[in-house]
Structure 1
Amino acid sequence: MDPVTSRRWLRVLAFAAAALCTMVVTMTATARDTVVSAAFYQSVLDEESAYDRLYDQVLVDPKVSAVTRDLLAGLPVPEAVLTSNVKLVLPPETVRELTHEQIDAVVGYLNGDRDSLVLNVDLRPVLTNINDLAQIYFGDLVASVQNRAEPDFDAFSTDLSAALRDVVAGRAPATLPALPLSEEQAATAAERVLSTLPEQDRAALRDDIEVALADGDIATVLATVAPVAVSERTTDATARLRTLAGGNGWNLEKTLEASGNDLTALHRARAYTALGLGIVEIVAAALLVAALVVLWLTTSAAPGRRPMLLGWALAAGGLLTALVAVLVRVVSGGRVISPPGSWPPSLTRLVDDLQRTAVDDMVAAALYTALVPLIAGALLAGFGWALQVRPSLRTAAPYARVVAVGTCAVTLAGVVLVPLVASPSAARRCQGSVRLCDRPYDEVAYLTSHNAMSTTVDRFIGPLQDPAITTQLDDGVRALQLDTYRWEKPDEITARLTESDFSADQRTLIAGAVNKVNPPREGLWLCHAVCRAGAIQLVPELREIGDWMRDHPTDVLTLIVQDAITAEDTAKAFTQAGLSDLVYTPDPDPAEPWPTLGDMIDSGRRLVVFAEQADGPEAWYRNFYRYGMETPFAFRSPDEMSCVPHRGGTGKRLFLLNHFITADGGSRLDAGEVNTREYVLDRVDRCERERGRPVNFIAIDYTTIGDAGAAVDALNARRG
């Protein structure tokens, strides 16, 4: 073969190699920022609102109900209680964390960091939550039953046994017995109650039951005993969940294989991705440079000829990338797995939408990246063509090499960097939402726990919440109403009880405990009106709140303190709890705009603290009613709920909606009505029209009842 022919063939091979290497660099750069990027998959889930759809569509799909009923059959908690509190059994944060674990497993497998693909969901948190909900349920079952005095201990014991049988059977007893017990009688009654439990569980519960009996707190006795008494039923039902999943862990890969989806495409992809996309990208880029150099050296030196040929090679590579990306989309149809017909329609739609969005986003990223060599190549070819047809431009011919080198360098850099911009990544989240980072603090709605410290789990008399404070935060509460006190002296009890919202029976119970089982204690406390009705230490609880906030760095939290201690004592408690670096200082002028949640999170100052009485002296500790207004709070029935101005007057930037019923204490039954999503939204709409400001704090009793959290989510979504 003569030298001219050899040169021509070498030029053809260099052109083809340049085009192919351009495609490889483009595709590997795209794959690096999509296929093997955990942030990409997380962004797809957010783009399709997957977590919201799980609760709002999949778990309420009629096609799921048959399976759900079979799995839940035998649990001591009624199906309606589980399904209405599904976010307690399966919290959104737990779902997100478990999903991210599976994403990390897939990405690790594709990257070659893991030898095998194991998609395993740990069911233990869910099973634990079911047991916890059982405790709350039994507490609810007996909470509203009024005490009835018994004439003697034998009658008391008989009625206590009958009440326990009712609760274990899932029925609320008509009444609960009441009788002041001596220590000996309390011990005897405790033995009778414990005899109904499995022997291995008695020792752990003995002290709690004896103390509750000595306090006359029969409701707590039953709520403590009932879940253990029905543990065999709970064990049988949760065993069905374990059987379905194959143990405490649910292997999703085996489930998919059983449905005919063996993830073959994923395993095939790993054969390439596990080699290291970065290495392939570097080698392809080096070969591209070499091919372009050969193409330049084997091409005629005629004006414009070399840059034009290099431009066409780059453009051909970009065009080839675009064709491959479109072909992948057409052939795959936007699917990697095919949901079987046995899946409920809502789950099939969700999986199909996620697959389609993922494939479309990958194709879009590839097309955007392909534009870089296509446009750069077209410009370089155009430059060469101009040198050929315009003799007046040939004075620029000596610079053709500089232009060609510069264009190729920019093309390589663009191909590497464009996927970072073109491919979606996990969106920034504030307050758990991608929508709220740019929203001012005073335009956001917050689920607010009224008397957050008064909980069933902390053994308060007449509790207004069930879970502990940090559990409330886990469940979506983002504002806490807390009451700070010093332990009352005996002569202060009568006055405090008279002013409290306790029922007559509760007041009698508390008064009887004075200096007997609840002597005064030093220090600062979180109490509900009277510390003898229940108390938790202020500083340790604040420290736990701070730990929670540090574990959740993208959340803003508000405390509204009903302060019966001095502002100086409050400031000292916050310092001792280590919260000084978290507290946010509002503008001294309440009329000034608030920053966005994103700005507060970026600053690290994301704990807003208001007082009902104090105003300073610390700059971060401001009086709520200078900045905010509220509705009345002493509603005795849902029909009484109004939007009329109360403390704080009108026209303030912050708006507190007191949304709970107080009728001789909190009302669980009314909470079931007023805490529904529709009821909350209707009242918010009415009050916003009447008061001319968006509602910020929706304060409710019993945050685990109803779905006020969904109402808050809906408000924040539509305000965007």
Structure 2
Amino acid sequence: MLLRKLWPAVLATRTIFGQSVIVITGTAATGTLSGDGVLPTGLTYASFSTTRTISQNTASSLTLSGSNGTATTNGTTSTGSLINLVGATSTTNGTATTTASQNARPTNTQACNNYVEFCDRSYANITEIAAHNSPFAVKRNAFSNQDYGVVDQLNDGIRMIQGQTHLENNTLFYCHTNCNLLNAGTVEAEFKKIADWVAAHPFDVVTLLIGNAGPGLIPLNDYIGPITNSGLLRYAYRPPKIPMALADWPTLGELILRQKRVVIWMDYAANQTAIDYILDEFSQMWETPYSPTNDAFPCNVDRPPGLAPRDASNRLYLANHNLNAQVSIPGMDSKFLIPNTAVINQTNSVRGPGSLGLMANNCETQWNRAPNFLLVDYYNRDGTDPGAVFRVAAAHNNVTYNRKCCGSAVSVASTGRPIPLMQMLATSLIVLFVFTL
């Protein structure tokens, strides 16, 4: 039997060194929470002493030259500007042929991920903005991380979609910390939105980072259905080997040529020898400190733990730049984190203390290359400079950001009045806690 209980809460806030700390007091309802930012115990991190070949589909062998061509995927043929992009013919069986030409390669005019310059650039040599907990765009809920849904995010230029998945009643949902706090719907429904967008944008490469949040680690096979049923599988990139070093990654043009334009990562429980299109994150990519509450945003390796600098320098890396406020509940051991919206404008700005621009600069200086992904909350909230987060990425990509941001739907962002942290908490029914007995 399911019993629902309200937490009669009184909210208090204070500032400690510029960091908002929320204390929720009252009588504890029955139940426990796992904290956002508190990792499960017993996690393991895969490592490979040697490279293992898992596919002969080596996209890096493609020659992007010639004067004409088409790309065909499942019977759908793309022509026109693709001629300038690749000048080749691609089919779904992974083979590719090129049209010989004695002339110089034509100048490409087709943008890849919004920039012509990216077409010939390796997937490992581009900085993209990532939406932290992308599906969590539920209005008036303190546990949300975004104002806009995934379609607006992709339209605005977000190219990594990240979120926590939970298994409830044998169904995968996107939930923040606990499905009773924020449930953004099924994983399959969210994947379907992404697949439809990818189908309508044949020159874009999208990255998914699946957070395997549990409870416990969700079996890998449970993700096959949502990926297949949503239509994502036809676009899923299958790397030729594990681990993929920086030099192994194909260009965006090659991924587009093959129409393998969705790169799917999973943080825990991936097994590429079993399912090759769900990539193991921490054997091939590392992250800066997870769910940060420190607005200094250090660029050191946090996950996987103990990774040597020499090994880290040959992997992709993700910079966590989503500042959090810690929520404490008396009578319960668990603590969890929510976005610190009180300082979000500065967190997402181009310059200044605690800014995304400063962190990206520091990381590039420390590692001699910029982060591949900059993970942010409320990407549209950046004070008087909408699109600031994309401007930061563009600077590190040596391109010019000139797009309009952000969103097409009526939302919090369209009012121009970011919701303060305490107001967001107060207007979400003083935080509703629902527990299952």
Same fold per superposition (TM over 0.5): yes
* TM-score, with structure 1 as normaliser: 0.36
Instruction: State the distance in 1 between where 2:225 and 2:170 align.
Output: 15
Deviation at 1:480, TM superposition (A): 1.1
Shift of 1:599: 0.6
**Aligned-partner Cα distance in 1 for 2:350–2:390:** 8
Alpha-carbon distance in 1 for matches of 2:241, 2:250 = 14
* Percent identity between the two aligned chains: 26
* One of 289, 300, 308 as aligned partner of 1:632: 289
* 1:425 Cα offset (Å): 8.5
Q: Partner letter of residue 340 of structure 2?
A: S
Q: CA shift at 1:585, angstroms?
A: 1.1
Per-residue deviation at 1:179?
Answer: 12
Give matches, 1:25-40, under 5 Å.
none
1:538 pairs with 2:178: no
CA distance in 2, matches of 1:618, 1:460: 36
Q: Distance in 1 between matches of 2:280 and 2:368?
A: 22
Shift of 1:646: 0.9
Confirm or deny that 1:675 pairs with 2:348.
yes
Aligned-partner Cα distance in 2 for 1:461–1:530: 13
Superposed, 1:452-601 pairs within 5 Å as 452-457=134-139, 460-487=141-168, 523-535=171-183, 536-563=185-212, 564=214, 565-589=218-242, 590-591=244-245, 592-601=247-256
Distance 1:683 1:575 in 2: 37
Deviations 1:384-421 (A, max 9, x none): xxxxxxxxxxxxxxxxxxxxxxxxxxxxxxxxxxxxx9
Q: What residue in structure 2 maps to residue 143 of structure 1? A: none
SS at 2:235 equivalent: coil
Kindly report which structure 2 residues correspond to 1:251-400, keeping only aligned pairs within 5 A, or say none: none
Aligned partners of 1:481 and 1:560 also within 8 Å: yes
**Structure 2: how far apart are the matches of 1:526 and 1:687?**
30
SS in 2 for 1:435: helix
Alpha-carbon distance in 1 for matches of 2:193, 2:291: 31
1:461, CA displacement in angstroms? 4.3
CA distance in structure 1 between the partners assigned to 2:368 and 2:252 by the alignment: 22
Counterpart residue identity of residue 255, structure 2: M
CA offset at residue 468 of structure 1? 1.0
8 Å contact from structure 2 (residues 291, 324) kept in 1: yes
1:666 matched to 2:339? The reply is yes
DSSP-derived class of the 1:532 partner = coil
Name whichever structure is richer in helix by fraction.
Answer: 1
Note the C-alpha offset of 1:426.
7.7
Provide the C-alpha distance between the structure 2 equivalents of 1:695 and 1:674, rounded to a whole number of angstroms: 17
C-alpha separation between the residues in 1 aligned to 2:340 and 2:374? 17
Indicate whether 1:642 and 2:291 are aligned.
Answer: no
Change (3 A) 1:686 1:425: closer
Q: Deviation of residue 572 (structure 1)?
A: 2.0
Question: Pairwise mapping of residues 143-292 of structure 1 onto structure 2 (< 5 A)?
Answer: 148=10
Contact 1:656 1:698 in 2 (8 A): yes
Q: Do the aligned residues in 2 keep the contact of 1:435 with 1:717 (CA within 8 Å)?
A: no
- Cross-structure match for 1:605: 260
Q: 1:460 to 1:700 in 2, by over 3 A?
A: same
Mapped contact 1:451–1:464 kept (Cα < 8 A)? yes
CA contact 1:450–1:480 (8 Å) conserved in 2: yes
Q: For residues 179 and 695 of structure 1, what CA distance do their matches in structure 2 show?
A: 42
Q: Which residue in the other structure is 1:442 paired with?
A: 124
Supply the AA of the counterpart residue of 1:645. V
Residue 652 of structure 1 and its aligned partner are, at CA, apart by 3.6
Shift in Å, 1:668: 1.1
Residues 370 and 396 of structure 2 are in contact (CA less than 8 Å); yes or no, is this contact kept in structure 1? no
The aligned amino acid for 2:123 is Y
Q: Deviations along 1:260-291, whole A, 9 cap, x unmatched?
A: xxxxxxxxxxxxxxxxxxxxxxxxxxxxxxxx
> Where does residue 313 of structure 2 map in the other structure?
651
Deviation at 1:623, TM superposition (A): 0.9
CA offsets, 1:191-242, max 9 Å, x none?
Answer: xxxxxxxxxxxxxxxxxxxxxxxxxxxxxxxxxxxxxxxxxxxxxxxxxxxx
Q: 1:534 to 1:179 in 2, by over 3 A?
A: same
User: 1:689 is paired with a residue of what secondary structure?
Assistant: helix
Matched residues in 1 for 2:350 and 2:111: separation? 23
- Quote the Cα distance in structure 1 between the aligned partners of 2:126 and 2:357: 14
How far apart in 1 are the matches of 2:240 and 2:133?
A: 27
CA distance, structure 2, for counterparts of residue 635 and residue 599 of structure 1: 35
Deviations 1:457-476 (A, max 9, x none): 4x654211111111111121
Aligned equivalent of 1:715, options 382, 388, 396: 396
* 1:431 counterpart residue number: 113
Q: Which moved more, 1:619-628 or 1:460-469?
A: 460-469
Q: Is the 8 A contact 1:485 1:526 kept in 2?
A: yes
Tell me whether 1:620 sits opposite 2:267 in the alignment: no
State the secondary structure of the residue aligned to 2:319.
Answer: strand
Measured against aligned partners, the alpha-carbon deviations of 1:239-266 in whole angstroms (never above 9, x if no partner) come to xxxxxxxxxxxxxxxxxxxxxxxxxxxx
User: Which 5+ residue runs of structure 2 have no aligned equivalent?
Assistant: 1-7, 12-24, 28-103, 327-337, 383-387, 401-437
Deviations 1:26-50 (A, max 9, x none): xxxxxxxxxxxxxxxxxxxxxxxxx
Question: CA contact under 8 A between 1:637 and 1:670: conserved in structure 2?
Answer: no
Deviates most, 552-561 or 664-673: 664-673
Tell me the SS of whatever aligns to 1:463: coil
1:631/1:710 CA distance change after superposition, 3 Å: same
What is the CA distance between 1:614 and its match in structure 2?
A: 2.0
Of structures 1 and 2, the one with the larger relative CO (CA 8 A, separation 6+) is 2
| CA apart distance, 1:686 | 1.2
Structure 1 residue aligned with 2:360, among 684, 688, 696? 684
One-letter amino acid of the structure 1 residue matched with residue 350 of structure 2:
R
Q: What is the aligned-residue RMSD (CA, Å)?
A: 2.7
Q: Give the conservation status (yes or no) of the 8 Å contact 1:470–1:544.
A: yes
Q: Which has the larger radius of gyration?
A: 1
**In 2 relative to 1, CA 425–697 (structure 1 residues): closer, same or farther, beyond 3 Å?**
closer
